[in-house]
Amino acid sequence: MDSALDTPATASSHRHESAQAAPAPSAQTRAGRTDAAPATAGTDFPLVVHCHLRWDFVWQRPQQLFSRLAADHPVLFIEDPLPTDGGACLELSEPYPNLVRMVPRLPPHAPLDVDAQWRLLLPLIERALAQHELLAGRFAQPVQWFYSPMSAPVLLGRFGARGTVYDCMDELANFRFAPPDIVERERFLLARADVVFTGGYQLYQEKSRHHGTVHFHGCGVDAGHFGRARVASTTVPEAIADLPGPVLGYVGVIDERLDYGLIEALARRFPEASVAMAGPVVKVDPAELPRLPNIHWLGQQPYDLLPALVKGFDVCLMPFALNDATRYINPTKTLEYMATGKPIVSTAVADVVRNFTPVVDVADSEDGFLDAVGRAAMAPDPALLREGIARAMAASWDSTVATMRQELLDAVLPMRQAGGVAA
**Residues of the chain above pLDDT 70, percent:** 86
The answer to whether residues 111 and 120 touch, using CB atoms and an 8 Å cutoff, is: yes
Instruction: Give me the pLDDT at residue 202, please.
Output: 84
Confidence tier at 60 by pLDDT (50, 70, 90)? confident
Q: Indicate the range of 64-78, 334-348, 368-382, 403-417 predicted with least confidence.
A: 403-417
The answer to whether residues 100 and 94 touch, using CB atoms and an 8 Å cutoff, is: yes
pLDDT beyond 50 at 8: no
Instruction: Give me the pLDDT at residue 176, please.
Output: 66
Instruction: Give me the pLDDT at residue 335, please.
Output: 95
CB proximity list for 290: less than 8 A, separation 6 or greater: 260, 261, 263, 264, 267
> Is it true that 5-220+397-418 and 223-393 share their CATH fold?
yes
The answer to whether residues 339 and 227 touch, using CB atoms and an 8 Å cutoff, is: yes
CB proximity list for 49: less than 8 A, separation 6 or greater: 62, 66, 75, 76, 77, 78, 144, 145, 146, 147
The answer to whether residues 79 and 102 touch, using CB atoms and an 8 Å cutoff, is: yes
> What does the alpha-carbon distance between residue 146 and residue 252 come to, in Å, rounded to a whole number?
23
The answer to whether residues 116 and 151 touch, using CB atoms and an 8 Å cutoff, is: no
Instruction: Write out pLDDT tens, residues 63-113.
Output: 999 999 999 999 999 999 999 999 999 999 999 999 999 999 999 999 899
| 223-393 topology per CATH | Rossmann fold (3.40.50)
Confidence tier at 194 by pLDDT (50, 70, 90)? very high
Q: Residues 191-208: what's their mean pLDDT? A: 90
Confidence tier at 415 by pLDDT (50, 70, 90)? low
The answer to whether residues 243 and 277 touch, using CB atoms and an 8 Å cutoff, is: no
CA 125, distance to chain mean position in Å, is 23
pTM, two decimals, is 0.74
> What does the alpha-carbon distance between residue 273 and residue 294 come to, in Å, rounded to a whole number?
7
The 3-class SS string of 45-101 reads: CCEEEEECCCCCCCCCHHHHHHHHHCCCCCEEEEECCEECCCCCEEEEEEEECCEEE
Please state, rounded to an integer, the average pLDDT across all residues of the chain: 87
CATH code for residues 5-220+397-418: 3.40.50.2000
> What does the alpha-carbon distance between residue 289 and residue 116 come to, in Å, rounded to a whole number?
37
> What does the alpha-carbon distance between residue 275 and residue 267 come to, in Å, rounded to a whole number?
6
> What does the alpha-carbon distance between residue 211 and residue 186 come to, in Å, rounded to a whole number?
12
pLDDT beyond 90 at 28: no
| Amino acid occupying residue 402 | A
Q: Where are the domains of the chain?
A: 5-220+397-418, 223-393
Residue 267 carries which DSSP code?
H
3-state DSSP assignment of residue 199: coil
**380 CB burial (10 A radius; 0-12, 13-18, 19+):** middle
Q: Residues 372-388: what's their mean pLDDT? A: 98
> What does the alpha-carbon distance between residue 81 and residue 76 come to, in Å, rounded to a whole number?
15
Helix H or strand E segment including 122: helix 114-131
CB atoms closer than 10 angstroms to residue 358? 11
What are the distances in angstroms from CA 242 to CA 224, 245, 255, 294, 313?
26, 9, 26, 12, 12
Q: Indicate the range of 183-187, 229-233, 247-251, 417-421 predicted with least confidence.
A: 417-421
Provide the b/e sequence for 320-351 (b: ≥16 CB within 10 Å).
bbeeebbbbbbbbbbbbbbbbbbbbbbbbbbb
Helix H or strand E segment including 339: helix 333-340
